[in-house]
Amino acid sequence: MHLTWNRKDLISLDLLSKEEIESVFTVARAFKASLGNHKAKTTLLDGRSVVNLFLEPSTRTRLAFEVAAKRLGADSVTVSAAASSLTKGETLRDTARNMEALQADILILRHPASGAPNYLSKVVDIPVVNAGDGSHAHPTQALLDAFTLLERFESLDGLNVTILGDILFSRVARSNILCLRKLGATVTVAGPSTLVPNDFASMGVRVCHDLRSALEAADAVMLLRIQHERQTSTHFPSIGEYTSMFGLNQERAAWLKPDAVIMHPGPINRGVEIDSELADSNRSVILQQVTNGIVVRMAVLLLCHSFHTGEAIQLPQLNS
Amino acid sequence: MHLTWNRKDLISLDLLSKEEIESVFTVARAFKASLGNHKAKTTLLDGRSVVNLFLEPSTRTRLAFEVAAKRLGADSVTVSAAASSLTKGETLRDTARNMEALQADILILRHPASGAPNYLSKVVDIPVVNAGDGSHAHPTQALLDAFTLLERFESLDGLNVTILGDILFSRVARSNILCLRKLGATVTVAGPSTLVPNDFASMGVRVCHDLRSALEAADAVMLLRIQHERQTSTHFPSIGEYTSMFGLNQERAAWLKPDAVIMHPGPINRGVEIDSELADSNRSVILQQVTNGIVVRMAVLLLCHSFHTGEAIQLPQLNS
Amino acid sequence: MHLTWNRKDLISLDLLSKEEIESVFTVARAFKASLGNHKAKTTLLDGRSVVNLFLEPSTRTRLAFEVAAKRLGADSVTVSAAASSLTKGETLRDTARNMEALQADILILRHPASGAPNYLSKVVDIPVVNAGDGSHAHPTQALLDAFTLLERFESLDGLNVTILGDILFSRVARSNILCLRKLGATVTVAGPSTLVPNDFASMGVRVCHDLRSALEAADAVMLLRIQHERQTSTHFPSIGEYTSMFGLNQERAAWLKPDAVIMHPGPINRGVEIDSELADSNRSVILQQVTNGIVVRMAVLLLCHSFHTGEAIQLPQLNS
C-alpha cells in the first residue's frame, strides 16, 4: 500500500492532489472494515489531544469529529463560541495559540468567516482541520460525500452529479465541486438563478436552471439545506416557493435514472428541499454519509498528524 | 444467579415485570459493592458509545448517566437542546437516527414531551433509555428510589410509602407508583387537592388530603420538588402557602414513625417542600439516592445493551 | 526526594508554607519533563473523577484543569452555570454534596463570590481546589506564574516583580503577592491610583504610581487584564486613557532591564494593557505560563488527592 499526503493541514480541496484524496479513501476504508467491531478500537493517536473549536453551531460534524478522535484513541475537547475567551475580546490567533500551549495536537476549526482556518494554519505549528468556514469550504464533507459515492459506483470518472439548491452560499457545494471534478465527475449545479449564478461555470461545472434536465442526467443528486442564516431576504421570495419550484418530490425523483442516489449533508428540512418519503427511501444514502463522516475524519486526522510528526502510519488489518 | 430482562429499551415501569425490576437490583448491587474501589473499573461496555440527548435542563440525572457509562468503560457524549440540530428544524427522529449513524450504541433521552422516548424506540434499532419525558415517566428515578428503600428495609412488600407534593405534574410520582406497587408496597399520595386529584385512586393508590394521616402511616415519605415550570398559576396560590400547608417541617416530621426515611429526587428547595435541617438529618436518604443513581443506571445500560446484542452479562465479583 | 503537603484543599496562598509551594514545583517539574512524550501518560489518578464546577466563564483555566486531570488518568466532567441545578434554586452546598454523592474525587470550583471555595471545603469531604473566587484568590495561577519565573531565574529570592494594572479587583494580583513574597521576591504594584490603593502596602509590597520607576526596577512585569466585568465605571475614565497612561508599549518596555520578562494570565487585550508586538516578543513568557498551568495543576490535584487518601505519591521518572 502506498499513501500520498503532503500537508499538515486540511483547509480546502483545491490544494489536494487526486492521489492525496485517494489516500484519504484508502485509510478510511481500512477503518470502515472494523467500524462495527468494538474490540478493534485503535490506539493510533493514543494520548493525543484534539481540540474542536466550534464557533458556529453544529451537532453532526462536531460529534463526528469527536467520535473520530476517540476511535483513534485521542482525547477530544470541544470549545464553543459561548464558552470561549473570544467573548472576552481575545483574538482568534491568541485563542488558537493558547490551545497549542495547552498541548493540543490537532486543532479542528469551524468558523463563520471564510479563510479563518487558513489563517490559523499559519500561526500555529500543529495541524489545523477546516470543519467549515463561512461560505468558503467544508473539505471533510466533500471527502465523505465522494467516499459514499464510491461505495455505490466503481469510480467517479464520468459520473454525473447534480448539486441542487443554494449553491451561492454553500461551502458544501464549493468543496464538492472541487473534489468531484478532481475525481473525474461531471458536475451540474441547479436551483433558482438567484442562488445559482452563471459565474459558477468558471469552476468547470454546468449551470442549469431547468430542473428536469439537471435531474435526468444525474447518477447522484446532492441536495443542499436551505440555510436561512446565510441569506438575505432578496434571494428568493419564500420557502414555499422554493419547495414548489425546486424541492425534490416523488414526481421529480421519477426523472432520475433508476439507480441514481440522493444525498444531503444534513440536517434535512423534510418537506422543504426534500420530500419526507424520499429521504427515507432506499435511494437515499443520507445516513451512510453520516457514518462515513466518522471514518473519513479518522483518516484525515491520522494523515495530518502523521505528516506533522513524521510518524509512519500503521493501519489496522488493512484489507485493500 | 438468574437474570430476567426482556427488552432493549427502558421507557416506563408499567411494562417491566417484578422479575425484571429485581434483575436491575441484582446487577446494581454487584456494582455497588465495588463502587468505592477505583481499581475495579469495569470494561463491560468497553469501546461502546452512549449518547445523552438532553432536551431539558438536568445536572444530576445527566451526570449520573455519564458517570454510569464511563464506569462501564463506555464513551459518553452529551447533546443539549441549545447545541442540537433541532434548533435548525431537524425532526427528533432524524436527530436520533443520525446519532445511530454516528455509531451510538445506546441513546438516553430526556424530552419535554411525554411519549418521545417510546416513539424513538420504534425508529432506531439501538436501545433507548428514558431519562424523563414530560409528566409521563422517569423510570430510572423510580428504580433507584426502590433500590434505596431496599437498603433500609428488607422488602417493599407491605411497606407504606407516602408521596407528597405535586403529584399531578410529576413523572417521578407516576413511575414510583408503578414501581412500588409492583414490589408490593402500599402507596399514598398527598398534597393540595389541585395537585393530587382523586383520579389517582385508579392507579391503586390511596389519595389523601390530610397530611397528618398520610405521614403517620408512612415508612417512607417521598417529597417532590415544586416544579414551577410545569404548573400554571391556578394550581395553588403561592409557594409560601404550599410550604405552610404541606412543607415537611420538624413538627410534621414528628408524626412519622421513628424509623421512617425521607426521600427527594432533587434538586431540593430548602425551606419550601422540606425544612433545611430535615434534609440533612439522618432520616434523609437523599444523597444515598444520588449515589444509587449511578449503579442503578449502570445496571439498566448493561441489561438493555446485553439484551440487544445477545451478549451474556459478566458481573464483576458478584457477591449475592 | 522529600515532599511537604499538609492539606486536602487548595483555597488560598496565605495558608501554604514555602515548603508546600516548593513541593508543588518539584512534582510539576517531574511532569514537565515528560509533557511532550505522549506515551508517558500517567495512571496516577486512574479511575478517579474530577468535577469542574465553573460558575463563571473560563476557557484557559477550565481546559488546563481538564487536560491536567486527563493526563493523570482521571475522568473530567465540567458543569457550567447555565447547565447546573443552581438555576433551579439549589444551594451551592447541595450542588457540591451531590457531586460528592456522584462519586467525584476532587471538586474544582470557579465562583464569582469570594470565599465560596473555602465554604465548600468545609461541607464536603473530598478535596476542593479554588480555580478563582471573586476578587479573592486564584492560587493555581500564582503557582504557575512563580513556576514560570523559576524556569528563567535560579531563585525568586531578591527578585523584583512588578504587577501592573487593575490590582484592586484582581484575584491574580492578590495570590501572586502572597506567593512571590513567600518565595522571597520583592513585589511592586503599579497602575492608576484608583486601582492601586495605598492599602496594599500592608501586604508587604511597594505601591508605586510612577510607571517608569516601577518598570526600571523589575526583573519581571506581570500585566493584568482590564476586567470590565468587575469594575464600576468610576475607577478610570476610559480604556483608551488607561492604555495611554499605563499600557505596556515599546517605549515603556525599553525602561525594563534587558533580561526582564513580561507575563500575563490571559486572555490578553492586545493594544490595551499590552502592545501587540510585545506580547509576541521573546521577552514574553505568556504561552509558557499556559503550558505550565497544566503541570502545576497536575501537581496540585495529585498532592491534594494523595493527602486526602493517604496514598504515597509515585512520580514518573523523577529527575530531581
Each residue of C166-185: pLDDT tens digit? 999 899 999 999 999 999 99
Q: Which CATH superfamily is domain C13-137+292-309 in?
A: Aspartate/ornithine carbamoyltransferase (3.40.50.1370)
Residue of A nearest to B82 (CA): A57
- CATH hierarchy code of domain B13-137+293-309: 3.40.50.1370
Residue C319 — very low, low, confident or very high, per pLDDT cuts 50/70/90? very low
Which amino acid is it at C249?
N
Cα C16 to chain centroid, rounded: 14
Q: Mutate which of C51, C92, C102 to disrupt the B interface (most B C-beta within 10 Å)?
A: C102
B160-167 mean pLDDT: 96
Query: Considering CB atoms only, which of C39, C225, C270 is closest to A47?
Result: C39
| A79 reaches C (C-beta below 8 A) | yes
Q: Which long-range contacts (CB under 8 A, 24 or more apart) does B78-81 make?
A: B78/B51, B78/B52, B78/B54, B79/A59, B79/A63, B79/B51, B79/B52, B79/B53, B79/B54, B80/B54, B80/B55, B80/C83, B81/B54, B81/B55, B81/B56
**Packing angle, helices B116-123 and B92-101, rounded to 10:** 50
Q: Interface partners of C (3+ CB pairs, < 8 Å)?
A: A, B
Other C-beta atoms lying within 10 Å of the C-beta of residue C71: 26
Residue C229 — very low, low, confident or very high, per pLDDT cuts 50/70/90? low
C198-211 mean pLDDT: 95
pLDDT at C85 over 70: no
Q: Which residues of C touch A90 (CB under 8 A)?
A: 266-269
pLDDT at A85 over 80: no
Residue B222 — very low, low, confident or very high, per pLDDT cuts 50/70/90? very high
Residue B320 — very low, low, confident or very high, per pLDDT cuts 50/70/90? very low
CB contact under 8 A, A77 and C66: yes
The proportion of chain C whose per-residue pLDDT surpasses 90, expressed as a percent, equals 80
Residue of A nearest to B90 (CA): A267
Query: Considering CB atoms only, which of A80, A267, A287 is closest to B89?
Result: A267
Q: Which residues of C touch B41 (CB under 8 A)?
A: 46-47
Nearest Cα residue to A245 out of A175, A187, A196: A196
pLDDT at B90 over 80: yes
Query: Considering CB atoms only, which of B47, B75, B91 is closest to A270?
Result: B91
Each residue of B201-212: pLDDT tens digit? 999 999 999 999
Helix (H, G, I), strand (E, B), or coil: what is residue B262? strand
Cα A231 to chain centroid, rounded: 20
CB contact under 8 A, B63 and C99: yes
Q: Is C58 left (phi over 0), alpha (psi -120 to 50) or beta?
A: beta
Mean residue pLDDT across chain C: 92
pLDDT at B10 over 60: yes
**How many residues in chain A?**
320
Question: What's the pLDDT at C59?
Answer: 86
pLDDT at C230 over 60: no
CB contact under 8 A, A60 and B97: no
CATH topology of domain B139-289: Rossmann fold (3.40.50)
C221-242 mean pLDDT: 76
| B57 reaches C (C-beta below 8 A) | yes
Three-state secondary structure readout of A200-233 = HHHHCCEEECCHHHHHHCCCEEEECCCCHHHCCC
Q: Which residues of B touch C95 (CB under 8 A)?
A: 59, 267
**CA separation for the pair B5, B26 (Å, rounded):** 12
pLDDT at B233 over 90: no
The proportion of chain A whose per-residue pLDDT surpasses 90, expressed as a percent, equals 80
CB contact under 8 A, A291 and B101: yes
Nearest Cα residue to C265 out of C58, C32, C74, C76: C58
Q: Interface partners of B (3+ CB pairs, < 8 Å)?
A: A, C
Residue with the bigger pLDDT between A317 and C83: it is C83
User: C254-268 b/e with 16+ CB inside 10 Å = b?
Assistant: ebbeeebbbbbbbbb
Chain A closest CA to B192's CA: distance in Å? 42
**CA separation for the pair A51, A66 (Å, rounded):** 9
* CB < 8 Å from A in window 9-38 of C: 35, 38
Residue B247 — very low, low, confident or very high, per pLDDT cuts 50/70/90? very high
Would you say the CATH fold of A139-289 matches that of A13-137+291-309?
A: yes
Residue A315 — very low, low, confident or very high, per pLDDT cuts 50/70/90? confident
pLDDT at B184 over 60: yes
Residue-range domain boundaries for chain A: 13-137+291-309, 139-289
CB contact under 8 A, C67 and A98: no
B127-136 mean pLDDT: 97
Mean residue pLDDT across chain A: 92
Cell (9 digits) for C264: 500575563
Sign of the torsion angle spanned by Cα atoms A88, A94, A95, A101: negative
| C270 reaches A (C-beta below 8 A) | yes
pLDDT at B234 over 80: no
pLDDT at B318 over 50: no
Residue C200 — very low, low, confident or very high, per pLDDT cuts 50/70/90? very high
CB contact under 8 A, A101 and C57: no
Question: What's the pLDDT at A318?
Answer: 46
Question: What's the pLDDT at A229?
Answer: 55
Residue A319 — very low, low, confident or very high, per pLDDT cuts 50/70/90? very low
Sign of the torsion angle spanned by Cα atoms C8, C161, C63, B57: positive
Predicted-assembly ipTM surpassing the 0.90 threshold? yes
H/E stretch holding C88 reads none
Chains B and C form CB pairs within 8 A to the count of: 66
- A75-80, strands of its sheet edge to edge: A75-80, A49-54, A106-111, A128-133
Chain A closest CA to C274's CA: distance in Å? 12
Helix (H, G, I), strand (E, B), or coil: what is residue B22? helix
Each residue of A206-254: pLDDT tens digit? 999 999 999 999 999 999 988 765 555 566 668 888 999 999 999 999 9
Is residue A142 within 8 A of residue A175, CB to CB? The reply is: yes
Residue with the bigger pLDDT between B2 and B15: it is B15
Q: β-strands A206-208, A160-164: how paired? A: unpaired
DSSP string over B263-274? E--S---BTTTB
Query: Considering CB atoms only, which of A35, A38, A288 is closest to B46?
Result: A38
Q: Which residues of C touch A101 (CB under 8 A)?
A: 287-288, 290-291
Q: Which CATH number applies to A13-137+291-309: 3.40.50.1000, 3.40.640.10, 3.40.50.2300, 3.40.50.1370?
A: 3.40.50.1370
CB contact under 8 A, B103 and A35: yes
CB contact under 8 A, A57 and B83: yes
Lowest mean pLDDT among A227-231, B239-243, B280-284, C254-258: A227-231
The proportion of chain B whose per-residue pLDDT surpasses 90, expressed as a percent, equals 80
